[in-house]
Structure 1
Amino acid sequence: MSKNVIITGTSRGIGFELVKLFAKAGHEVLALSRNEKPVKDLNLKGVSCFSFDLNDSEAYKKVEDFVSKNWKQVDILINNAGALVNKPFSDTTTADFEIVYKTNVFGVAELTRNILPFMTKGSHVLTISSMGGVQGSMKFPGLAAYSSSKGAVITLTELLAEEYKESGISFNVLALGAVQTEMLEEAFPGYQAPTTAFEMADYIFEFSLNGNKYYNGKLLQVSNSTP
């Protein structure tokens, strides 16, 4: 059965691959990204897209209007968009933290809050975090803002699952290990990740459709490296 799916951060990497996977499987997709051109150029059936900035308070109204006019209901929300700053903590400013948290934490909270009224029993909110946000995981210097923001959305997910447990809406969070994306290449030039964006998108695609049957309020670590 066709689902109505919203995905953020769709102009490249995992988000871009997810749009293609959902479209191929016959689902309806709203792809949100500051740069809508890559998805628009695909010209895929069932895929709608427009420019959307998580930091723009007016943009959320556009999403609400689209859903109420075209869908009425949202089955899956994938909070995938992310911002990353890589610099030594001593050089990291409040402005750097603000840039990262506005997208990775405030944006996730705001979009989720706006979409929840359109969700019903069986709907799934899936947020993409990072292994760097998991307590006790290996940490990388230079990612103080990024990794701490990814830790915040893990806690947010647990909290929302508790707050909405009577509604039948599920909230889960995937902490990804290193994935070969443009964002990773920009932050760590030359680093080769063991997983491609397509491989990870394929896992997220399946989990978003079925994971809520087995999990709610859970953090799953999606990483094949040790520890």
Structure 2
Amino acid sequence: MKHVIITGTSRGIGFELTKKFSEAGHKVLAISRNPQPVSELKLENVKVFACDITRKKDLEKVSSFISSEWKKVDILINNAGTLINKPFQELSLENFNSVYQTNVIGVVGMIQKMLPFMAKEAHVVNVSTMGGVQGSMKFPGLSAYSSSKAAVINLTELLAEEYKETGPSFNVLALGAVQTEMLEEAFPGYKAPLSAEEMAEYIFNFSLTGNKFYNGKLLQVSNSTP
């Protein structure tokens, strides 16, 4: 049984991941600004936290819970993300800041708080996007989102190097088109070839075993972009 933290669990891939880990008998801390969707499921071994990962006080509450209840974290899946789809000239600095606070700073804060509880065998899985991969196809309107996800890729590589002797392992998944609410925000009307449940199944398996084979690696999980 693993102790697993998943961020961004109110919908999409994070919501499906929470169900999969619970069904498999693992302990889950489901983190989201909106805890209601997961709370209503009344899943076994799942603790639901209302948490904004951009707020220091909220992160400290998570750390306190781990310190007093779990004592350790085996898997951290940084899945939470926010997207604003606007032409570059219409994006305010506040828009950019909002996206980077969740997609980059929030990830940094969560990792820093959880590292003291993670052993060498633990695994940090960061969720990025194909739009953040250098040389990949890019799309208008996603300059804030895709550039923030590129930062997550680089951060993952840096942390894997910094912690390669002591652990945990760090890997990043660049996802292609998955049928989620966020995809609809980016590409209204587009139908993706993969469902949120199908992608969650892949991430579920990778988070449990991927660190046996990879560390500091970017894996492009995509058959459509979009």
- TM-score (norm: length of structure 1): 0.98
**C-alpha separation in 1, matches of 2:43 and 2:221:** 29
**C-alpha separation in 1, matches of 2:147 and 2:162:** 23
**C-alpha separation in 2, matches of 1:99 and 1:24:** 34
Equivalence for 2:63: 64
Which residues of structure 2 form unaligned runs of 5+? none
Corresponding position: 1:98 with 2:97: yes
Equivalence for 1:48: 47
Corresponding position: 1:20 with 2:16: no
Q: Identity, % of aligned pairs? A: 68
Aligned pair count reads 226
* Counterpart amino acid of residue 74 in structure 1: V
Which residues of structure 1 form unaligned runs of 5+? none
Are the counterparts in 1 of residues 83 and 145 from structure 2 also a CA contact under 8 Å? Answer: yes
What does 1:22-37 correspond to in 2, within 5 Å?
Answer: 22-37=21-36
What does 1:140-219 correspond to in 2, within 5 Å?
Answer: 140-219=139-218
User: Structure 1: which 4+ aligned runs deviate by more than 6 Å?
Assistant: none
* Counterpart amino acid of residue 8 in structure 2: G
DSSP-derived class of the 1:29 partner: strand
**C-alpha separation in 1, matches of 2:104 and 2:59:** 15
Cα 1:226–1:182 change in 2 (3 A) is closer
Equivalence for 2:117: 118
1:179-227 Cα deviation digits (max 9, x unpaired):
1001111332211111100000000000000000000000000001379
DSSP-derived class of the 1:210 partner: helix
**C-alpha separation in 2, matches of 1:90 and 1:145:** 11
Equivalence for 1:7: 6
Equivalence for 1:89: 88
DSSP-derived class of the 1:190 partner: coil
* Counterpart amino acid of residue 23 in structure 2: K
**C-alpha separation in 1, matches of 2:50 and 2:224:** 35
Equivalence for 1:135: 134
**C-alpha separation in 1, matches of 2:121 and 2:224:** 32
**C-alpha separation in 2, matches of 1:188 and 1:134:** 18
**C-alpha separation in 1, matches of 2:141 and 2:33:** 25
DSSP-derived class of the 1:109 partner: helix
Are the counterparts in 1 of residues 172 and 218 from structure 2 also a CA contact under 8 Å? Answer: yes
**C-alpha separation in 2, matches of 1:176 and 1:81:** 13
1:166-186 Cα deviation digits (max 9, x unpaired):
113100000000110011113
DSSP-derived class of the 1:173 partner: strand
**C-alpha separation in 2, matches of 1:97 and 1:39:** 29
DSSP-derived class of the 2:188 partner: coil
